[in-house]
Amino acid sequence: MMRKITILILMFLVSATVFAQYSTPGNGLVYTLDDLVANSEGALTEDEGIYYLHEDLTIAVSDTLQVMDNGSLLIDPELRITVAGVFEVDAPDSFLMDCSVIDEKFEGVRVEENANILWNNLVMKNGGGIRLLTELTAQITNSEFYNHYGGVATGAVFSMSRGSHVFENNRFVENETPAFASAGNATASPIIIGNFIEANNLSDSNRPQINMGPTGAATDTIKIINNTIIGDRDKTRVGGISVAALIGGNVNAIIHDNTIIDNRYGLTIAGPNVWAEIKGNLIEDNDTEGQPMLGGSGINLLTQNPTKYDVFITENQIRRNLWGITMQYDAMANLGDDENNPGNNVFSDNGNNGQIYALYNNTSNDVMAMHNCWTEDPDITLEDAEDVIFHHNDDPSLGEVIFDPVSCAILGVDEVAMTEIVLAPNPAKQFVVLHGANDFNQAIIYDILGKEVSRTIINSDAQQINLNLKRGVYFVQMQNGHQKLTKKLLVQ
Which residues, at least 6 apart from 341, have a Cβ–Cβ distance to it below 8 Å? 312, 313, 314, 334, 335, 368
- In this structure, how many other beta carbons lie within 10 angstroms of the beta carbon of residue 103? 7
The reply to whether 431 and 396 lie within a common domain is: no
Tell me: cis bond preceding 306? Omega within 30 of 0 counts: no
The reply to whether 402 and 445 lie within a common domain is: no
The per-residue pLDDT for range 168-201, each reduced to its tens digit, is 999 999 999 999 999 888 899 999 999 999 999 9
Please tell me the total count of domains within the chain. 3
Task: Annotate 269-284 with b (16+ C-beta within 10 A) or e (fewer).
Answer: bbbbbbbbbbbbbbbb
The reply to whether 479 and 380 lie within a common domain is: no
The reply to whether 169 and 297 lie within a common domain is: yes
The reply to whether 471 and 355 lie within a common domain is: no
Tell me: cis bond preceding 214? Omega within 30 of 0 counts: no
The answer to whether 381 touches 375, Cβ cutoff 8 Å, is no
Residue 343 CA to chain centroid, in angstroms?
25
Which domain, by its residues, includes 451?
426-491
The reply to whether 249 and 348 lie within a common domain is: yes
For residue 486, the model assigns a pLDDT of 82
Distance, in Å, from the CA atom of 338 to the CA atom of 84, rounded to the nearest integer, reads: 53
User: What is the reported pTM?
Assistant: 0.84
Residue 363 lies in a domain: yes
Residue 178 lies in a domain: no
Residue 445 lies in a domain: yes
The reply to whether 322 and 383 lie within a common domain is: yes
The reply to whether 343 and 437 lie within a common domain is: no
Residue 418 lies in a domain: no
Residue 111 zone, left/alpha/beta (φ > 0; ψ -120 to 50; rest): beta
Residue 399 lies in a domain: yes
The reply to whether 126 and 195 lie within a common domain is: no
The reply to whether 441 and 473 lie within a common domain is: yes
DSSP state letters, 117-184: EEEEEEEEESS--EEE--SS--EEES-EEES--SSTTSSSSEEESSS--EEES-EEES-SS-SEEE-T
Residue 415 lies in a domain: no
The answer to whether 69 touches 92, Cβ cutoff 8 Å, is yes
The reply to whether 233 and 323 lie within a common domain is: yes
Which residues, at least 6 apart from 160, have a Cβ–Cβ distance to it below 8 Å? 132, 180, 181, 182, 186, 188, 190
Distance, in Å, from the CA atom of 380 to the CA atom of 142, rounded to the nearest integer, reads: 44
Residue 469 lies in a domain: yes
Distance, in Å, from the CA atom of 488 to the CA atom of 231, rounded to the nearest integer, reads: 18
Distance, in Å, from the CA atom of 348 to the CA atom of 385, rounded to the nearest integer, reads: 11
The reply to whether 359 and 447 lie within a common domain is: no
Distance, in Å, from the CA atom of 465 to the CA atom of 27, rounded to the nearest integer, reads: 51
Which residues in the chain show pLDDT less than 50? Answer: 1-18, 412-413, 415-416
Q: Which of 410, 435, 452 is the last residue of a domain?
A: 410
Residue 421 lies in a domain: no
For residue 303, the model assigns a pLDDT of 93
Q: Which of 410, 434, 451 is the last residue of a domain?
A: 410
Q: Which of 349, 380, 410 is the last residue of a domain?
A: 410
Q: What is the largest CA-CA distance in the chain?
A: 94
For residue 417, the model assigns a pLDDT of 52
CATH number at residue 485: 2.60.40.10
